[in-house]
Amino acid sequence: MSPPTGQAGRAPTLVVIGGPTASGKTHVAATLARHFGTGVISADSRQFYHAMRIGTARPLEAELLGVPHHFLGHLGVEETWSAGAFARAAELVLQELLLHHGTAVLVGGSGLYIDAVRFGLDSLPQADEGLRRRLQERLRAEGLATLTEELHRLDPGTWERIDRHNPHRVMRALEVCLLSGAPMSAQHSGPVLRADIRIVHLALDLPRPELYARIDARVDRMVADGLVDEARALLPHRALNALRTVGYRELFDHFDGLTSLNEAIARIKQHTRNYAKRQLTWLRRDPRWQWTAPADLDRMVQAVEAPAP
């Protein structure tokens, strides 16, 4: 990459790095942050949890390239963090980075958490722990379909719009309906990109076969690094929302005797590929993303340094 041109004349800038899992977002974010002399805000909701290092591919210290990273491994597995709580904490870090460096980098594969920063927050009811526990108990006892049907009855607009295969999204929408007595769709102002800062959207693009090969290789590395033992240590916490995620659910089934270890690993790979497809679908809905190869760092720098349109 060419040397930085400095911050003079450029509005405070948030660089958002998106892309499917295993596309190289961590390396790109750390490299760009080092280039611009700033820090990284992680918006990967599973990498928040300290005990889930291997299964969430949380980066090692060497992979951070000496760049300050925020919100990696700072939560205990029994703690919960909503997108709203993350956005409020991330906003403080964002403003500090922009004040001192003029640029900040936001990276992650959790669209809900990225949106909470780049769009800001609606004035929706904050999470209620008691209601959340009751919904989680219903999810375990009755299954996601029952909660989805209730959401369809209470708020068909949100039911139509959200990812109905995502338990967290369904429960949050139900929570808002039940706490406020009104549909979430009637209270949601819609995604309006914040205007107080400049936002550059960079999405990492890889040929599908290469992406899938990266996913398979990363799962193999996770297993070699001790994923099975990490999952076994977390087995007593399997009912927690944090652990209803790819890489752990499949191994829990293996521990229950439902699959062999090889079958569990194959399912982790397949489910991770499915997750990558959903991430790509989410990204492609928004034309603001500039698609680029992960290795084309000069192009990314030029996009950040380009004059605002």
Buried b / exposed e across 90-124, counting CB within 10 Å, b at 16+? beebbeebbeebbbbbbbbbbbbbbbbbbbbeeeb
pLDDT at 263 over 50: yes
Report yes or no: 14 and 118 within 8 Å, Cβ to Cβ.
yes
The pLDDT value recorded for residue 309 is 67
The number of angstroms, rounded, from the C-alpha of 27 to the middle of its chain's C-alpha atoms is 16
Chain centre distance of CA 110: 2
Read off φ and ψ for residue 116, nearest 5 degrees: -60, -30
Q: Which of 118, 97, 114 is nearest to 32 (CA)?
A: 97
Query: Is a pLDDT exceeding 60 seen at residue 211?
Result: yes
- Asked if the model's pLDDT at residue 210 lies above 90, the reply is yes
pLDDT for the residue 6: 43
Global pTM value? 0.79
Q: What is the mean pLDDT of residues 130-141?
A: 88
Return mean pLDDT, the chain. Answer: 90
The 10 Å Cβ neighbour count of residue 174 is 22
Residue of 191, 47, 168 whose CA lies nearest to 116:
191
Query: What does the pLDDT read at residue 42?
Result: 98
- Alpha-carbon gap, residue 204 to 289, rounded angstroms: 9
**C-alpha of 151 from chain center:** 23
The band of 46, judged by pLDDT with boundaries at 50, 70 and 90, is very high
User: Which pLDDT belongs to residue 166?
Assistant: 81
pLDDT at 183: 81
> What domains can you pick out in the chain, each with its CATH number?
13-123+193-208+287-305 (3.40.50.300), 129-187 (1.10.20.140), 209-277 (1.10.287.890)
DSSP string, 16-83: EEE--TTSSHHHHHHHHHHHHT--EEE--TTTTBGGGTTTTTPPPGGGGTT--EESSS-B-TT----H
CB atoms within 10 A of CB 176: 26
Residues of the chain above pLDDT 90, percent: 71
Compare 14 and 8 and report the one with higher pLDDT. Answer: 14
Residues in the chain: 309
